[in-house]
Structure 1
């Protein structure tokens, strides 16, 4: 079970504050949960690269595929690794830089009103039971703290940036996840 403290941090998870955030617009209600995936290098799991990316200290010479990441400033609120371990990079009270150019129900700039959770994975590889357990428990805690996040307002990155993003991909079991939240 997860709890969110008054500063917007999950208790009992690893905290790795990212510089890639800013304040939400005044009087913004948090009303959207966006599920993403990430792996660095693509399709490879484990290691420090994701943490380094969110901390702006990724060695872009460490792998040939990292060249496109040079100078990129991104973050998510949370990362759930393949073992189900959770790391928090940005307080839920703040605006993480996870959605990019996006819109939901006609409203642009989803970072303003959403929480972003990255699952360590890729579109074509099944997510682990440990990841689903953590995601379900965290989603329940988020919905308790932010009641505007209804089941219909839990979406994939592909839903808010269609044509630009595909995550969490076909490997994500939406039916299982949504049924477990009920």
Structure 2
């Protein structure tokens, strides 16, 4: 460290010490003097004036009115909190119902996927039968029966898909109805 840096650092430390003192006294000395000054004040300044009975009654009436207003405000806050709790309870039940409906939708999707797997298996089997019939028979009766069977299975899946789509639409409407809770709804 050079001499100029050392000199600058010592000068800054000295300035800090001087800024802490005011009128040659440290901060601790000034605080203790102010505390002693407060303790030395005469107590006659804090004496109360004697009141008449009417003044005492008026004052007690003011205090009573103030507490009555405060009680009314507390009752309003309490009613608002009760209403909020009831709304939260309603929302809790609605969300639980929504979760149950989502589970039933998931189960329906699983059922639909299983039906599609069955359809894929049936289509593969029918395709194999068609190959066998086309190779072995010259008549069209076997092919016609197989194709009619395939068409029947496909129409069955389409009707299942249509009923599932209507089920999904109904579930969506139910969920929208449940989620449309009005904030101005009166508490029960």
**Shorter-chain TM-score range:** under 0.3
TM-score, normalisation: structure 1 = 0.16
Q: Which has the higher helix share?
A: 2
Q: Give the number of the structure whose alpha-carbon radius of gyration is greater.
A: 2
Q: Which has the higher contact order (CA 8 A, sep 6+)?
A: 1
TM-score by length of 2: 0.16
